[in-house]
Amino acid sequence: MPDLSDYRSKRDTRRSGEPSGSSPAESDRPRFVVQRHDASSLHFDFRLEIDGVLVSWAVPKGPSADPSDKRLATRTEDHPLDYLDFEGRIPEGEYGAGTVIVWDTGPFDNLGKKDLSDGLADGHLKVRLHGRKMAGGYALTHTKLRGDDRNWLLVKVDDGEAERGRHTVEGEPESVLSGRANEDL
Ligand code: MN
């Protein structure tokens, strides 16, 4: 069940500058965001709007447009909807200290046979993304990889938007909202 208790227990949003989740803006079409998070280690946070929160995975290598790339995506705590456009510097000493930019965002459609919350519970999600850098189908599959229950795989569906050899993250580091790079924050 999506909920924000882990999000709130891990951080003091008055100190970190992150959204408190107190005023979520619901939309009629679900949205996704990928945030480039330069923290203790650089990673990409992939988030899908499901049941009023952003269900979240940390993707160390970032998403790929090449269907042969299977990207480890580790489930993290649900985030509030107002995290969709969050960019900033989380101060030293706070959880996730480092810089965050909106690497890509846009609406998405559910391509799965079940609704999103059931697909999440079953460990199978298939979505069509309408971003600037990420487009077309992506599958997220829960796996017991390396014995860790939080581990999923993010893989590009082999469709018209797939591009062999385009590993997506290289050469496209800037925010789609502000044009800034992590280093600019
Ligand atoms: Mn992160």
Give the model confidence (pLDDT) of 125-177 as tens digits: 999 999 999 999 999 999 977 778 999 999 999 999 999 998 887 778 999 99
**Quick check: 100 and 37 in contact, CB under 8 A?**
yes
**Mean pLDDT, the chain, as a whole number?**
93
**Quick check: 29 and 107 in contact, CB under 8 A?**
yes
Distance from residue 43's CA to the centre of ligand 1 (Å): 6
How far is Cα of residue 147 from the mean position of the Cα atoms in its chain? 22
Distance from residue 135's CA to the centre of ligand 1 (Å): 22
Closest C-alpha among 24, 146, 3 to residue 86: 24
- The confidence score (pLDDT) of residue 170 equals 75
- The confidence score (pLDDT) of residue 169 equals 79
Give the integer Cα–Cα distance in Å for 72 and 5. 25
Q: DSSP E strands: which ranges in 80-144? A: 88-90, 98-110, 124-130, 135-142
- Tell whether the model's pLDDT for residue 1 goes beyond 70: no
pLDDT digits (tens, 9 = 90+) for 12-56: 999 999 998 876 666 679 999 999 999 999 999 999 999 999 999
Distance from residue 94's CA to the centre of ligand 1 (Å): 12
- The confidence score (pLDDT) of residue 96 equals 96
Would you say the C-alpha torsion 46, 149, 4, 115 has a positive or negative sign? Answer: positive
Q: How many CB atoms lie within 10 A of CB 101?
A: 25
- Tell whether the model's pLDDT for residue 68 goes beyond 70: yes
Distance from residue 36's CA to the centre of ligand 1 (Å): 8
- The confidence score (pLDDT) of residue 62 equals 95
Residue ranges of alpha helices (H) inside 22-172 are 116-122
Closest C-alpha among 50, 59, 46 to residue 24: 50
pTM, two decimal places: 0.93
Q: Report the percent of the chain where pLDDT is more than 90.
A: 85
Distance from residue 182's CA to the centre of ligand 1 (Å): 13
Distance from residue 76's CA to the centre of ligand 1 (Å): 8
Distance from residue 37's CA to the centre of ligand 1 (Å): 5
